[in-house]
Amino acid sequence: MSEYRYQLEKYRGRGTRYTCPKCRRKHTFTRYIDTYNNNIYINDNVGKCNRLDKCGYHYTPHQYFEDNPMKSDVCLFKTIGFLNKQTSKDTSSHFDTIPEWIVEGSLQRGNAHVEWLRGVFNPIDVERVVGDYQIGGTREGHAVFWQRDSEGRVRTGKIMAYDPTTGKRLKGGGSVDWVHSTMLRQGLVEEFSLRQCLYGEHLLSRYPDLAVGVVESYKTVHIASIILPQLVWCATDSLSGLTAERLSSLRGRRVVLFPDEGRGYEEWSSKISKIAHDVGFDYRISSFVEGGMYGGGADIGDIVNVEEYCPF
Ligand SMILES: [Zn+2]
């Protein structure tokens, strides 16, 4: 658990200072907040009295969770993990999910990718896409793309750093990460069994009559959802993410694949017919970005003339 997760609430007027549970003086008690969970209070009595020498009351989150072990997220995760292992007979089908409070926390924060979208596209379209895909943010302003499956479970989130002005990805260390990996590093979970799903899978039932556009990247999903709303858009996360398991939710749908130029087109063309047969869907594969007109590795997001969509 990060030592910075729990912090004394910053002073924002007398309303943020409470009656001390020990000396009963009004407006002298500062509570601890949980910065991973919408800044909620740990408990009414967890905090510090400002009258250090006269009263000296200080009840820390650490002490509170020692006294109330079931209230701790770490404990809760361990219990859930234990129960899952006890009840899951077929261990190969077991996978872990991200708790909703982590997703909720990310939705309170802005991020550079959405900032860029807002600067380029019509705000109404952007808000629809941000709401549909529940694009979140980290405290550093990086985007979090949640993989929510058709049952509403969040499999993981990909964390990506963007330049808010150009919309391009920032390169270098720490610019790509996963939420389950950060939970492991922070000790929130001891192990995490990952099974990725399609990005956008939770929207398939919301738009049952639309054909499904499948692309590789998250950013392309958002751009395509704005400029081609006739389809519901999903991403495989990577070139190798085009598998029967990840596409299993597409059974019975009409599917249009938009692979990246070059290698993407070759690999997806060679794999899709068996996958479509195994899962059970009709498909077309778009060669829209083929032919070298848009450069190697281009995707349909790259060929959009963003000036055309600028509302200003
Ligand atoms: Zn006091």
pLDDT 10s digits, 182-204: 999 888 888 999 999 999 999 99
How many beta carbons lie within 10 A of that of residue 286, not counting itself? 15
- Tokens at 299, concatenated: 């995707």
CA of 41 to the centre of ligand 1 (A): 18
Residue identified by tokens 């063309």 is 269
CA of 43 to the centre of ligand 1 (A): 16
Residue 307 has pLDDT above 60, yes or no: no
CA of 42 to the centre of ligand 1 (A): 18
Residues sharing a CB contact under 8 Å with residue 150, sequence separation 6 or more, in sequence order: 197, 201, 202, 204, 205, 249
Which region among 147-151, 238-242, 293-297 has the lowest average model confidence (pLDDT)? 293-297
- The CA R_g of the chain, rounded to the nearest whole Å, is 23
Cα separation, 248 vs 9, in Å, equals 46
CA of 28 to the centre of ligand 1 (A): 7
CA of 11 to the centre of ligand 1 (A): 17
Residues sharing a CB contact under 8 Å with residue 201, sequence separation 6 or more, in sequence order: 147, 148, 149, 150, 234, 249
CA of 16 to the centre of ligand 1 (A): 15
Residue 113 has pLDDT above 80, yes or no: yes
CA of 47 to the centre of ligand 1 (A): 10
Q: How confident is the model at residue 295 (pLDDT cuts 50, 70, 90)?
A: low
CA of 180 to the centre of ligand 1 (A): 40
Contact 284, 295 (CB under 8 A): no
CA of 186 to the centre of ligand 1 (A): 33
Please report, as a single letter, which amino acid is at residue 92.
S
Cα separation, 51 vs 212, in Å, equals 62
Residues sharing a CB contact under 8 Å with residue 176, sequence separation 6 or more, in sequence order: 158, 159, 160, 161
Q: How confident is the model at residue 2 (pLDDT cuts 50, 70, 90)?
A: very low
CA of 19 to the centre of ligand 1 (A): 8
pLDDT 10s digits, 124-145: 999 999 999 999 999 889 999 9
With vertex at residue 200, the alpha carbon angle to CA 198 and CA 149, rounded to the nearest 5 degrees, is 65
- Tokens at 97, concatenated: 């999910």
Pairing state between β 47-49 and 282-285 = unpaired
CA of 3 to the centre of ligand 1 (A): 24
CA of 1 to the centre of ligand 1 (A): 28
pLDDT of 259 reads: 87
Residue 74 has pLDDT above 50, yes or no: yes
Contact 176, 182 (CB under 8 A): no
What structural domains does the chain harbor? 6-70 (no CATH), 74-185 (no CATH), 201-309 (3.40.1360)
Residue 54 has pLDDT above 50, yes or no: yes
Cα separation, 67 vs 233, in Å, equals 48
Cα separation, 235 vs 241, in Å, equals 9
With vertex at residue 200, the alpha carbon angle to CA 198 and CA 203, rounded to the nearest 5 degrees, is 125
